[in-house]
Amino acid sequence: MASISADKAQTQFPELLKRAARDKERIVLTSRGRKVAAVVPIEDLKALEELEDRQDVEDAKKALAEPGKSITLAELKRELGI
C-alpha cells in the first residue's frame, strides 16, 4: 500500500485519484509521519459500508433481544428533557 504526505498529496491529487480509480490502489495519507486518511477505490468504500450496515443490523437485533422495558421515543425525549 502506497503512502504519501498530505502536503505532497495536494500537488498530486489528480494522479492519486486516477491510481485509486483505475488501478484500484489504496493510498494512505500521512501528516507529520502519522497515518491520517486514505484515498481508496469506490468499491472498497462500498464494501466497508456494507460491512458496517451488517454490523449495525446485528447490533440492533441483539439490543432488541435484551431483556428489559422498552420506551417510546416520546418517553425518551421527555426523560432527557428535549
Domains detected in the chain: 2-80 (3.40.1620.10)
pLDDT at 68 over 90: no
Backbone torsions φ then ψ of 67, nearest 5 degrees: -70, 155
Give the number of other CB atoms < 10 A from CB of residue 15.
11
Q: How far apart are CA 51 and CA 17, in angstroms?
A: 24
Angle CA(50)–CA(61)–CA(51) in degrees, nearest 5? 15
pLDDT at 33 over 90: yes
Q: How far apart are CA 53 and CA 21, in angstroms?
A: 24
pLDDT at 70 over 90: no
pLDDT per position as a tens digit, 41-64: 999 999 999 999 999 999 999 988
